[in-house]
Amino acid sequence: MGDGRTTKAVQRYLDQLAHVSGEVPAEPLVRELMAASVNRLHMLCASMLLRSYPRLTRPPLNLQIDEMLGAVVERMLKALRSVKPNTVRQFFALANQHMRWELNDLARRLDNQTRAQALRASRAAAPADSSGSDLTPNARRILNAIDGLPPDEREAFDLVRIQGMSQPAAADVLGVSAKTVQRRLNRALLILADQLGDLQQPQPQPARP
Amino acid sequence: MSSDSRVSQVLEDVLESGCSPERACEDCPELLPEVLRRLRALRKVEAQLNNLFPPADGTDNNGPSEFLSLDGGLPSIPGYVVESVLGRGGMGVVYKACQLKLNRPVAIKMLLGGVYASPSERIRFMHEAEAAARLSHAHIVQIYDIGDLEGRPYLMMEFVGGGTLADRIAGVPKPARDAAALVATLAETMHVAHRHGIVHRDLKPSNILLTDEGDAKISDFGLARWFNSDANLTLTGAWVGTPSSMAPEQARGTTSAIGPGTDVYALGAILYEMLTGRPPFRGESASDTERQVIADEPVPPSRLNPRVPRDLETICLECLQKDPARRFNSAAALAEDLHRFLRGEPITAHRAGVIERGVRWVRRHPTLSVALAGALLLAGLLVSGGVWLALQRADRAHAVEADLKEVAAFQQQSRWAAAQTALERAEARLGMIGPRSLRRQFDLARRDLDLVMRLDAIRLRRVTQGAPAIYRAQANQRYEQAVRDAGLGTVAEPPDRVARKINDSAVKPALLTALDDWMVCAPAGTQRGWLVAISQKLDPDPNGWRARIVAPATWDNLSALSTLASEVPGDGPSVSLLLALGDRLNAAGGDPAPLLRRVEREHPADFWANLMLGDALLFSDPVAAGGFYRTALAARPQAAVAYCSVGDALRRQNELDDAIHYYRAAIQQDPRYARGYTVLGMALSNQGMLDEAIENYRKAIPLDPDYTWSYFELGNALRTEGLFEEASDNFHKALLLEPTNTRARDGAECAAIREGRAEEVWARWRKAVDAAPGDVDNWIGYGELSLYLGHDDEYRRVRHELLGRFGSSTDPSIAERTSRACLLLPCEGDELRQAAILADRAAAAEHSTAPWIYQYFLFAKGLADYRQGRLDEAVAIMEGGASKVMGPCPALIDAMVKYQTGDVQTALKLLAGAAVGTDWSARAADKRDVWIWHALRREAENLILPNLNGLMAGTEQPHSDDERLAMAAICQFRSQSLRAAQLYLDVLTSAPEAADAYPDLRFRAACAAALTAAGRGGDATRLDTNERARWRQHARDWLSAEVEACSQQLDRADPTARTHLAQRLLRLRYEPGLAGIREAEMLRALPAREQTDSVQIWKAAEAALNRNYHAK
């Protein structure tokens, strides 16, 4: 992701998709279209799990991101089958919305898991790098705050931060200048900072020997 | 405009333009405090956002944080070559550079623009930097120069390459003596600085740099407030540092109280962090930490790490006193006390006494304590005068006794580390002149614990994953020696007597554990019987599990051991006995994982249970294995083997950077741990750093000459580097140590094949198969070699044998390899059915197989689909799940399918792609997989080019470039360099754009041309000088185009593509075919102009690689 080619590639798929009639043959096209977004979502989920909830990835829970994401692709596919986006921008708007939902859902499940695990008697020896507390409900608050951003700011934020596009690529999708994208991102950051000023400090990165 | 919206406007300006908040507020100074407050809040939120949504491309100049970093690119400073960015932070950027005049490496710390608000501030910065620069000391990072680049101040400093103390600690406690020695050095150094009137103010582990030799050097002297980005946000003069490392007087903001005592406090905090792995105070937030620093007492280090000696704890806590006057009165005094501790002398720092502790308690519980005050006062009056001294002496003897009782108690509970600590404490108290009775008790305890450590070390050394038989025999000898030295007995003594002695020992549990492990290592017969007899006397084991394990009918019998493992309860016999059973099961070829899982569930914190379970799962489920390894590591943070194991789990998951980190930690724990170097080498070689890998293998070999894999991996690496003779040597050494190691055998045999002795190897292999007909891999390898050498009938015989012997195997990995080997030629009838069933069996094992292995299973399945005419299914697999394995094979099968479905053009394209993308020379066919490649190539060529014979005989002419490329592959295999080079030349002349379609084309062409020019290859021996020069010219042209293309793409590519391009450049360095225009001794024979031309190409390639390396 990240250059003008992305936009062109997506537009090509969308055009093809528009020429496909019926439900079934569209499937592979949609799948390809989704691949980049799903990869990025996978990466975001993995980094959330590993950075904020490292303990859950170890015994006894051994949570794996692939397991947790099993249903995601299917759900996004279903959503994009029922609503056919006409433009690249519409496509990303849909994808972004679903990604935020999925992240939120994952964060909720992780919080529940953490709580459940905390209830259980802790294991005799905590691995060396589990210092720092596990409970970080911050992720969900951040996602909620993003949901509440004004549309322009949210769209810019979604494309750059959630889809991982470069600012010029996002500008391409939105049909505005890169400067405008940067300005919207800054404004989004200011709004988020106002709303999230009381967040806990980020936990230290998992330590290594 | 309301002030709030004005603040927002200013903030937006700051974010957009990247200017300093001070400059943005020039016209509205009243807004500055609010702007700064919100900027700070914004940065905190931004850090969280970055955590949740990391930038996609790994660069940090993406998005809103741009205003914090300098605009990209390296700065240019006259007299220096800035090479790379060492780090970035709130204060600016640190670069690595080379000072041209002195040709020495330096670090340049460049501060953000706008770091000082006014010209007077700038002068102050320069003054303070100059003062720091005057300090010259072995343990202080020397400042060479200070300056200013376009308004940004910078410091030019000594380059220190070994990372920071913070990296070194990273949450793991360090040995007490190491910590004391290091802090003593730091304290001595600080004393020198204090004498010069310089206070550091921000000593913390991340400011302590380490040299490659491990020496500490203090950096950022007296300049902390300039580097801390928050410093200019407060603008109050009293800077806010890293809260967890600052002294109470700093947290309170009493600038006047800041002095040498502040640094003493910080040294105490460093000592604390080294002893416990965490700083003395760590709150939920910065302000919470500040509150703790001011108000709370630190948790005594020994409560976080029981191994911390009491005296060292006392020294540490004295540094951390809230009142500077109660700390050591100088850094020198601290250093002296630390040296006293290291020499075992009494220290001067004193523990908080009863009264002092009482005072602190009162401070924490003000109301409750009023009622108790009267009682305390009374107690205080009683303890006075001479009584005090006498009491103190008696106290000490009493305390030693208590310590020794503690040792005994810990020994009973098998808590050896805690016992060791208690013993050290007793030793420190006892001094040189304790009462004789106590001294004797102490010596006994010492001897017992030494024995425990010795036995444990024997066991640790045994689990090194080398040839098990060698390590068992070694351990057996060592156990025997240790037990004899301890006076417990020898095999000649009756078991009864030895058992009695062990029974009386204070460390009986550890001895029993060792006996069980020894039992696994001891040879059958008298000795094992003797051990079992002793164990039976001591550990009644009423259900007789031990007797069942050692029964000759069970010992080596897989099914009997499996039955036993399924029957034994996880909480029944002792852990050591259960693990011995797991060991046997593993040795007999069974899967010990289910048994070990049950053991681990019952003993979740047991080091050995976790370690062995991790080993059992490493290949099938590296993630879970990593979890168990980490638990083992937590149980024994000093065990090098545990670090290595965590690294192995990470390496399996392809997390190479992290794996390397753990391997280095293992070596740091135990610099004599051979396996540490070998696995580190393997990870490095996976990253393409072959030279470093080889260096590490070579280090490992003398440390443990019995470790097979060091030789094997060294052999592999040398082979890649083209040093075939030495590689072959090492394979043979590995084989000599472990004759049953099939991979070492393959390595040695393949080396022989490279030397052109393939038929000889084939005959030898046949004998090996006859000698061990139960070894499936032997059969498969022999079959594949037969096919490669064109002995198709022999291959068919092997296929028949394979299906007859292993056709019903339920092991998915045997099923996969067998079916694949059987389907390398078309196949029909029962044989086809049977092979297809095997492939299905492998493919069904998806959930129990690691994804990277499963791709191979898929390949077998796809091959079976193809042979059964299920072409669509075959294509789906070959273009999908299996496309990344088995080199050109998926493409070759795909090509054959395309041809059969009538798409001849695509078939030809795919065939040409496979032809160009692979080294088909017979010399490269020294790996078993490659024989399979050749078999499928042969089949594909004959199918897709029906007129192949005519083409190769020259009676027919090729119609397309794709046909030419396919022919070139055959020429390569037949060692017809000239003809191959001519074919490549035709293609590249008529269609230069082919080089874009086939990224390896120019490389192959250059190799063929260089070989031709060197007279290598059957058809190139009779060329005259001119013709040779012409081919060298072609080779150079193609190579330089290749280098240029890679180099250009490198600058634009994403990380994955970069790795790929770097590999393309790297192979030029090693490819033997290019030796004629690369190696110095070959070049010398050429005309001068040709020499320069060649050298230029290699320089360009190395420069591109260098650039790429630094970009990382």
Among A182, A196, A199, select the one facing B16 at the smallest CB separation: A182
Tokens (6 digits) for B56: 């996609």
Confidence check: pLDDT of B864 > 50: yes
CA distance B423 to B420: 5
B57's CB contacts (< 8 A; 6+ apart) are: A2, A164, A166, B1054, B1055
Among A125, A139, A187, select the one facing B634 at the smallest CB separation: A125
| pLDDT of the residue at B792 | 93
Mean pLDDT of B172-188: 90
Measure in Å the smallest separation between the Cα of A162 and chain B Cα atoms: 6
Chain A residues closer than 8 Å to B614 by CB: none
Chain B residues closer than 8 Å to A161 by CB: 49, 53, 63
For residue B209, give the H/E element and its range: strand B208-210
Confidence check: pLDDT of B27 > 70: yes
β-pair partners for B109: B94, B155
Using CA coordinates, name the residue in chain B closest to A181. B63
Does B49 reach chain A within 8 Å, measured CB to CB?
A: yes
B549's CB contacts (< 8 A; 6+ apart) are: B555, B561, B564, B577, B580, B581, B584
Chain A residues closer than 8 Å to B52 by CB: 44, 47-48, 52, 139, 142
* Position B592, amino acid: P
The least confident of B243-247, B917-921, B936-940, B1081-1085 is: B243-247
Chain B residues closer than 8 Å to A62 by CB: 623-624, 627
- What order of strands is seen across the sheet that includes strand B152-158? B80-89, B92-99, B104-111, B152-158, B143-149
Mean pLDDT of B853-878: 93
Interface of B with A in 1027-1056 (CB under 8 A): 1054
B284·A207 Cβ contact <8 A: no
Chain A residues closer than 8 Å to B628 by CB: 59
ipTM of the complex: 0.78
Chain B residues closer than 8 Å to A164 by CB: 53, 55-57
Per-residue confidence band for B869, with pLDDT thresholds at 50, 70 and 90: very high
The least confident of B247-261, B441-455, B583-597, B857-871 is: B247-261
Mean pLDDT of B876-880: 92
pLDDT tens, residue by residue, B189-203 = 999 888 877 788 788
Token pair 């009482």 is found at B358
Chain B residues closer than 8 Å to A56 by CB: none
Mean pLDDT of B1040-1060: 84
Per-residue confidence band for B145, with pLDDT thresholds at 50, 70 and 90: confident
CA atoms within 13 A on the CB side of B110: 27
CA angle (B635 as vertex; B634, B638 as ends), nearest 5: 80
CA distance B543 to A77: 59
Confidence check: pLDDT of B227 > 60: no
Chain B residues closer than 8 Å to A51 by CB: 51
Chain A residues closer than 8 Å to B64 by CB: 182, 185-186, 189
Cβ B148 vs Cβ B186: under 8 Å = no
CA angle (B56 as vertex; B54, B59 as ends), nearest 5: 85
What are the distances in angstroms from CA B913 to CA B856, B892, B918, B964?
21, 9, 9, 12
Measure in Å the smallest separation between the Cα of B300 and chain A Cα atoms: 18
Using CA coordinates, name the residue in chain A closest to B171. A207
| pLDDT of the residue at B379 | 46
Measure in Å the smallest separation between the Cα of B873 and chain A Cα atoms: 16
Q: Which of the two residues, B152 and B375, has the higher pLDDT score?
A: B152
Cβ B1047 vs Cβ B1028: under 8 Å = no
Q: Which of the two residues, B375 and B742, has the higher pLDDT score?
A: B742
Mean pLDDT of B452-473: 83
| pLDDT of the residue at A70 | 55
Using CA coordinates, name the residue in chain B closest to A203. B284
Using CA coordinates, name the residue in chain B closest to A186. B64
Chain A residues closer than 8 Å to B661 by CB: 208-209
Q: Among B45, B415, B653, which would you mutate to test the A interface (most chain A Cβ atoms within 10 Å of its Cβ)?
A: B45
β-pair partners for B274: none
Q: What number of C-beta contacts closer than 8 Å exist between A and B?
A: 150
Tokens (6 digits) for B774: 């139960």
Measure in Å the smallest separation between the Cα of A22 and chain B Cα atoms: 23
B637·A164 Cβ contact <8 A: no
Q: Which of the two residues, A76 and B520, has the higher pLDDT score?
A: B520
A192·B45 Cβ contact <8 A: yes
Cβ B474 vs Cβ B462: under 8 Å = yes
Cβ B96 vs Cβ B107: under 8 Å = yes
A193·B633 Cβ contact <8 A: no
| pLDDT of the residue at B376 | 47
B44·A187 Cβ contact <8 A: no
CA distance B726 to B746: 16
Q: At what angle do helices A26-52 and B32-52 cross, to 10 degrees?
A: 120
Measure in Å the smallest separation between the Cα of A27 and chain B Cα atoms: 16
Mean pLDDT of B612-638: 85
| pLDDT of the residue at B41 | 79
Measure in Å the smallest separation between the Cα of B665 and chain A Cα atoms: 6
CA distance B268 to B273: 9
Measure in Å the smallest separation between the Cα of A14 and chain B Cα atoms: 23
Does B654 reach chain A within 8 Å, measured CB to CB?
A: no
Nearest residue to B945 via CA among B976, B908, B909, B919: B908
CA distance B426 to B438: 10
DSSP label at A206? Answer: P
Does B55 reach chain A within 8 Å, measured CB to CB?
A: yes
Mean pLDDT of B200-223: 82
| pLDDT of the residue at B241 | 47
Among B52, B285, B624, select the one facing A48 at the smallest CB separation: B52
| pLDDT of the residue at B235 | 30
Query: Coil, helix or strand for B152?
Result: strand
B623·A200 Cβ contact <8 A: no
Using CA coordinates, name the residue in chain B closest to A165. B56
CA distance B858 to B773: 27
CA distance B249 to B1086: 75
Per-residue confidence band for B753, with pLDDT thresholds at 50, 70 and 90: confident
Tokens (6 digits) for B116: 């000082």
| pLDDT of the residue at B9 | 85
Measure in Å the smallest separation between the Cα of B398 and chain A Cα atoms: 32
B1027's CB contacts (< 8 A; 6+ apart) are: none
CA distance B1075 to B878: 36
| pLDDT of the residue at A134 | 38
β-pair partners for B143: B157
The mean pLDDT of chain B is: 82
Alpha helices (H) in B961-1000, listed in sequence order: 961-973, 977-990, 994-997
The least confident of A140-154, B80-94, B147-161, B839-853 is: B80-94
| pLDDT of the residue at B338 | 92
Q: At what angle do helices B674-686 and B708-720 cross, to 10 degrees?
A: 30
Token pair 């290291």 is found at B342
Does B662 reach chain A within 8 Å, measured CB to CB?
A: yes
| pLDDT of the residue at B31 | 83
B46·A123 Cβ contact <8 A: no
Q: Which of the two residues, B793 and B623, has the higher pLDDT score?
A: B793
Does B446 reach chain A within 8 Å, measured CB to CB?
A: no
Query: Coil, helix or strand for B328?
Result: coil
User: Residues B845-849: contacts with CB within 8 Å, 24+ apart?
Assistant: B845/B812, B848/B620, B848/B812, B849/B620, B849/B812
| pLDDT of the residue at A203 | 40
Confidence check: pLDDT of B438 > 60: yes
Q: Among B53, B304, B1054, which would you mutate to test the A interface (most chain A Cβ atoms within 10 Å of its Cβ)?
A: B53
Per-residue confidence band for B395, with pLDDT thresholds at 50, 70 and 90: low
Does B388 reach chain A within 8 Å, measured CB to CB?
A: no
| pLDDT of the residue at B388 | 43
Pairing of strands B216-218, B208-210: antiparallel
Among A48-57, B174-183, B581-590, which range has the highest average pLDDT?
B174-183
Chain A residues closer than 8 Å to B66 by CB: 182
Among A111-120, A143-152, B489-498, B892-901, which range has the highest average pLDDT?
B892-901
Cβ A12 vs Cβ A47: under 8 Å = no
| pLDDT of the residue at A80 | 63
| pLDDT of the residue at B278 | 84
Per-residue pLDDT of chain A (209 residues; tens, 9 = 90+): 444 455 666 666 666 666 655 444 455 656 666 666 666 776 777 666 666 665 565 555 555 555 555 555 566 666 666 666 677 777 777 777 777 777 777 777 777 766 665 555 343 333 333 333 334 557 778 888 888 899 899 989 888 888 778 888 888 888 888 889 989 998 998 888 888 876 655 443 333 33
| pLDDT of the residue at B386 | 40
Q: Which of the two residues, B901 and B350, has the higher pLDDT score?
A: B901
Does B284 reach chain A within 8 Å, measured CB to CB?
A: yes
What length does chain A have?
209
Among B63, B634, B658, select the one facing A126 at the smallest CB separation: B634
A209·B637 Cβ contact <8 A: yes
Among A59, A199, A200, select the one facing B624 at the smallest CB separation: A59
Using CA coordinates, name the residue in chain B closest to A196. B45
The least confident of B241-250, B438-447, B765-774, B1063-1072 is: B241-250
Chain B residues closer than 8 Å to A194 by CB: 38
A94: burial class by Cβ within 10 Å (0-12, 13-18, 19+)? middle
Question: What are the b/e assignments for B643-659, b being 16+ CB within 10 Å?
Answer: bbbbbbbbbbbebbebb
Give φ, ψ of B98 to 5 degrees: -120, 130
A44·B53 Cβ contact <8 A: yes
Compute and round to an integer the Cα radius of gyration of chain B: 36
Q: Among A38, A120, A184, A190, which would you mutate to test the B interface (most chain B Cβ atoms within 10 Å of its Cβ)?
A: A190
Measure in Å the smallest separation between the Cα of A158 and chain B Cα atoms: 10
| pLDDT of the residue at B387 | 43
Per-residue confidence band for B431, with pLDDT thresholds at 50, 70 and 90: low
B56·A202 Cβ contact <8 A: no
